[in-house]
Chains A and B, each alone.
Chain A
Amino acid sequence: MPDPSTEYSFDPAAEVAEREVGEPPGLGPWRLAARRLRRNRVALGFLALFFLIVALCLAAPLYADHVAGIGPSDNNLTGKVERGGEQRDVVTPDGTPIGPGFGKEYLLGADANGRDVAVRLLYGGRNSLFVGFMSALITTLIATALGLIAGYFRGKTDLATRTLFDILWSFPVLLFAIALGTALAVGGLDLGPIHIAGNSIWIPTLVIGFVLIPYLGRPIRGQVLSLREKEFVQAAEASGMGPWRIIFGELLPNLSSTIIVFTTLIVANNIILEAGLSFLGAGIQPPAPSWGNLIANGVDRLVTAPHLAIVPGLAIVLTVLSLNVFGDGLRDALDPRAKLRLRA
């Protein structure tokens, strides 16, 4: 889950210097944040890594067609591939698939059905990243809306929202997602006229998006409650601004840095959550690949073909790590408190 962290060093003089010197003149908070972020090369490096991963996954069909020559669901139990000069079985007669090796085909090895791991990895990445992003988006939209409304209007609206959050929050996330995921996987979901099939990728997306709502909703509600008491809101109300203009014009902009940081970290969190769900079978349903169910398949054959479990896991770690590091740098840059940082 999103975790707080700031970069300044422990130094009794730090705060003193900060109070005495204040902000570099002439820069608004966004420009200041952008400047600080630009200086954080580690964070930017990981952001680049993340974009690279996304790009690779998006290019999955290109890879499948032009490099590996095989699709993600194409079995190949009897084929052979050239390695180090000799022809080797993709899958040996006793069921052991080939491991990673240098070459266009089966770069990362094959699985028990002879499918190309690299291809499935990229296609799986598309699915996993889709779920990660979209669910985070859903959570952000709903949680922000609820948090704003509850925090601004208070009274009964707040009571209802807060109770909703409390209840949702009491369900352990994974279990809740499993429960919803399994229930919906069987028959799908009917939302009025729309029917979503049980094995649609939207099921885990909606489930994860829904389950995470209180984790963003509560902090936002808390922040709105305290912002609401600040003078600029009272001034806006006194000048006759309607509640919606205040919510969108005054409150939302002040929340944006919180939202941005949280969303980044929620995406990271959701990728891992989806992986766990799919690993258990309650997320993305086979035969659609996802990093999670790839690992599940791999664990079955851990002893004979360890690469099946190791590779997708590495993909997850790299992706999530880049998001976490970048999100951290982002939070640091947007932190309004640390005006002047000491050279570490």
Chain B
Amino acid sequence: MSAPLLKVSDLHVSFATEEGTVKAVDGVSFELRQGEILSVVGESGCGKSVTALTVMGLSRGPNATIEGEVNLDGKDLVTLPEDELRKVRAERIAMIFQDPMTALNPVYKVGDQIVEQILAHEDVSKQEARARAVEALRAVGIPNPDRRYDHYPHEFSGGMRQRAMIALALVLEPEVLIADEPTTALDVTIQAQILRLLEQLNRERGLAVILITHDLGVVAEVADRTLVMYAGRVVEEGSLDDIFYDPQHPYTWGLLGSLTRIDQPRPRRLPSIPGAPPSLISPPRGCHFRPRCPHEFAKCSDTPRLEARLPQSPEHLDRCWLDPDEKRARRVVEGGIGLVAGAE
């Protein structure tokens, strides 16, 4: 197996705030391999965005404490000085964000913003930069890219704006694209288009993608491997089949259980995971999911390590002390996989 493209090791990120120290990322490790689409799933506040921003070095600040390593091709991005980090951004790793409405500067033309990025990294003439920008817009499926170059962000529709963001991100041909909830703010039909586009770019250019989302439907569409995060930690990691057909962590069961299913009779109420995510200022001792988990027992007050507990699946990792047999039994609820039964 080839060396991973990006390797995050034991990343810890905390912020000093008025109310206390917020531990947003608590020991996250994972690898991103060449040409793969890795999805990161979890609810708001689980640390998925902070992790992504930290990879890009965008969470640095006087109130942030960042420990751990983010290794890109031998270089540690956590300790990399700012001016070198700037070269990594957009040239090797690019990022697109959730809300295309606000992600582009409203007072500049879209094309100019792409050119700005090109000129900041490469020493080319403005005409050449412009030509490349137009090409980039064309490559993401924007019709009339020549004219569209001169338009302002508010003249684009939501879906097109996101495409323009993708064009911007990929114009310098980075190896990795981090997409932070790229479809959340879009209509369902547009969502599908954007996902198609990402898949296409992955196939044609070998672009590795870290796709952050809270929507398991999106994961099922495009991901090769998935990380499930909860309260600052990765609680499960595996391939699509692993996660959807053999999930090992109760939180994952909860996520799956709350999906509506066409092939089952409708429960009177959709089951949701009871309780609320913990405070990241004073998280629970041991397993972070413990307070909400109906299957918790004494051992859970020791933090479970993220490791492979199924001998036949060395790449399927999870953080739950339960026996694999126990897990297989307990995760069946109302005929499918879930955490709790739907309320009456």
Interface residues of A (CB under 8 A from B): 9, 11-14, 16-17, 19-22, 24-25, 340-343
Contact = CB atoms under 8 A, between A and B. Distances in A.
Residue with the greatest number of chain A CB neighbours at <10 A, chosen from B17, B53, B58: B17
Interface in B43-60: 44-45, 47, 49-50, 53, 58-60
Contacts of B47: 20
A219 to B, nearest CB: 22
A157 B260 CA distance: 49
Nearest to A8: B18
A21 B60 contact: no
Nearest to A10: B61
A14 B16 CA distance: 9
What size tier do the contact residues of chain B reach? 20 to 34
A16 B98 CA distance: 13
Nearest to B64: A13
B19 A16 contact: no
B58 A342 contact: no
A209 B280 CA distance: 49
A21 B16 contact: no
B314 interface: no
Contacts of B17: 17, 21, 340-343
A13 B24 CA distance: 11
Contacts of B19: 24, 340
Interface in B267-308: 279-281
B22 to A, nearest CB: 5
Given A12-B59, A13-B61, A342-B63, A22 B45 contact: yes
Given A17-B24, A22-B45, A341 B58 contact: no
A13 B63 contact: yes
A343 B50 CA distance: 19
Given A13-B59, A20-B22, A341-B18, 20 more contacts: A11-B63, A12-B59, A13-B64, A14-B61, A16-B15, A16-B24, A16-B49, A16-B53, A16-B59, A17-B17, A17-B22, A19-B49, A21-B22, A25-B279, A340-B17, A340-B19, A342-B15, A342-B16, A342-B18, A343-B18
Contacts of A17: 15, 17, 22, 24, 63
B44 A13 contact: no
Chain B contact residues: helix, strand, loop or mixed? loop
B217 interface: no
A12 B66 CA distance: 14
Contacts of B64: 11, 13
A15 to B, nearest CB: 10
A342 B17 CA distance: 4
Interface of B: 15-19, 22, 24, 44-45, 47, 49-50, 53, 58-64, 279-281
A341 B16 CA distance: 9
A16 B58 CA distance: 10
A12 B63 CA distance: 10
A12 B60 contact: yes
25 contacts: A11-B61, A11-B62, A11-B63, A11-B64, A12-B53, A12-B60, A12-B61, A13-B15, A13-B59, A13-B60, A13-B61, A16-B15, A16-B50, A16-B53, A16-B59, A19-B44, A20-B45, A20-B49, A21-B17, A21-B280, A340-B17, A341-B17, A342-B15, A342-B16, A342-B63
Contacts of B15: 13, 16-17, 342
Contacts of A22: 45
B275 to A, nearest CB: 12
B288 to A, nearest CB: 14
Nearest to A21: B22
Contacts of A25: 279
A21 B18 CA distance: 12
A172 to B, nearest CB: 31
User: Nearest 9 A-B pairs (CB), nearest first?
Assistant: A11-B61, A13-B61, A17-B15, A13-B64, A342-B63, A341-B18, A20-B45, A13-B59, A343-B16
A22 B281 CA distance: 11
Contacts of A341: 17-18
A131 B47 CA distance: 54
A24 B280 CA distance: 11
Contacts of A343: 16-18, 63
Contacts of B22: 17, 20-21, 340
Contacts of B45: 19-22
Given A12-B58, A13-B15, A20 B280 contact: yes
A14 B53 CA distance: 12
Contacts of A9: 62-63
Contacts of B53: 12, 16
A9 B17 CA distance: 11
A19 B45 CA distance: 7
A343 B22 CA distance: 12
Given A342-B15, A342-B16, A20 B62 contact: no
Contacts of A11: 61-64
B265 to A, nearest CB: 32
A20 B59 CA distance: 12
A18 to B, nearest CB: 9
Contacts of A20: 22, 24, 44-45, 47, 49-50, 280
Contacts of B61: 11-14
A25 B279 CA distance: 9
Residue with the greatest number of chain B CB neighbours at <10 A, chosen from A12, A19, A21: A21
